[in-house]
Amino acid sequence: MTETDQLTPGARRILDVASELFYQRGIHAVGVDTIAAESGVTKRTLYNRFGSKDALVVAYLQTRDRRWRDLVTARLDATPDDPVRRVLVPFDVLPEWVSESERGCSAVNAFAELPEPDHAGRRVVVAEKQWLHELFLRLLTEAGARNAATLATQLLSLHEGAIVATSIAGTRDAAAAVHIAATTLVEAAL
């Protein structure tokens, strides 16, 4: 359980509104005045619940990250012990994820807006991408893949590239295309 699981209904509303605004307009483009007004609370209430805009940004990124990890983990739990299918799970869920992410990856968008390396939100973003890379590496190692570290990096790059191709280039078949490429790479390594 995380801190955001224990939010009051008012704090949950603030986080939901802030998340939508941050994703649609950008973190720096949205001020606490706008978040408070659209949440139907005072700025004082916002600060009482979250302490700062930065803390609200962190909660937004953690919530998105948890949704992504939960989606992948649930599918992994439901996938039989076929090593190729398990490695490909992040690609299996990608079409569903990108269909809800017309502005691309919220983590990558936030990374571009948070250049300070010690910003807590940036650390959430880095942890998410490292988690996916480590997941690929673990699943490939468990499957006995040759050159698992290199292949994990290739799979991460394909995965992230599909999100960019879908959201920026409008390539609607990007998720399916990278799934085919990932399958080819994984099968060749096994």
Residue with tokens 């302490």: 51
For residues 1-20, give the mean pLDDT. Answer: 82
What percent of the chain has a predicted confidence (pLDDT) above 90? 85
Domains in the chain and their CATH numbers? 58-189 (1.10.357.10)
Residue 132 has pLDDT above 70, yes or no: yes
Burial class for 144, CB neighbours closer than 10 Å (0-12, 13-18, 19+): exposed
CA distance 188 to 190: 5
* Residue 4 pLDDT level (bands cut at 50, 70, 90): low
pLDDT in tens, 148-166: 999 999 999 999 999 999 9
- What pLDDT sits at residue 154? 98
Other beta carbons within 10 Å of 156 = 19
- For the segment 158-177, the average pLDDT, to the nearest whole number, is 91
Give the count of beta carbons closer than 10 Å to the beta carbon of residue 159.
22
Tokens 């992040």 — which residue? 90
Q: Average pLDDT for residues 122-141, to the nearest whole number? A: 97
Please tell me the pTM assigned to this model: 0.91
